[in-house]
Structure 1
Amino acid sequence: MKLAIVVLSNAQADGAVEALLKAGHRVTRLASTGGLLRQGNTTLLVGAEDRDMEEILETLRRQAPGALVAILPLERYEHF
């Protein structure tokens, strides 16, 4: 399993979240601030099986060019 941490502009967030949800992925959306100018951003947390990560990345490439994506190994992912 993997966890994608995605930092993108607020303007890109709605389209990216909608596309990920439409494809059946679970997404957690957080407001975030950072960078030199302390501008508001959106951070997405997307937990998925390894086999789904390329689809997620392709969706993000289309919906949020310029987004920062970090992919981390995830030992366990539960949805209650």
Structure 2
Amino acid sequence: MKLLIAIVQDYDANQLLTALSDAGFRATRISSSGGFLRMGNTTLLIGVDDPSVHQVLRIIEENCRQRTEVVPPEIVGDLHEWYPPNLIEVVVGGATVFMLPVERFDRFQ
């Protein structure tokens, strides 16, 4: 068994959760935010039996695509120094997935 920790953009989270549920997988959703753009992310904890890992990874890949967004830059310098906002293009989306072995799994009902 593996624990997949998938960090996805909030924009993709609901669609991904629906696709996982439709395929019979459960996930725990945790709200998070990224350090670079400080935009909302969703971190999913997904327990998966070894034979199903590739199926879950495929579902994540199909539902979490990179895209380009235009965002304002951060204020640069101290409080007295400010540069006029020029919008910049950044690539967002996709998914970052960590895979960890699970030594033991218990479900209490």
Say yes or no: TM over 0.5.
Answer: yes
Q: Deviations over 1:20-43 (max 9, x none)?
A: 011111100110012212211000
State the percentage of identical aligned residues.
Answer: 43
Which structure 2 segments of 5+ residues have no match? 66-93
Greater fraction helix: 1
Larger radius of gyration: 2
* TM-score, normalised with respect to structure 1: 0.93
The secondary structure found in structure 2 opposite 1:18 is: helix
In the alignment, the residues of structure 2 paired with residue 67 and residue 30 of structure 1 have an alpha-carbon distance, to the nearest angstrom, of 15
* TM-score, normalised with respect to structure 2: 0.70
Q: CA RMSD in A?
A: 1.0
In the alignment, the residues of structure 2 paired with residue 56 and residue 24 of structure 1 have an alpha-carbon distance, to the nearest angstrom, of 10
Which structure 1 segments of 5+ residues have no match? none
| 2:59 corresponding residue in structure 1 | 59
| 1:19 corresponding residue in structure 2 | 19
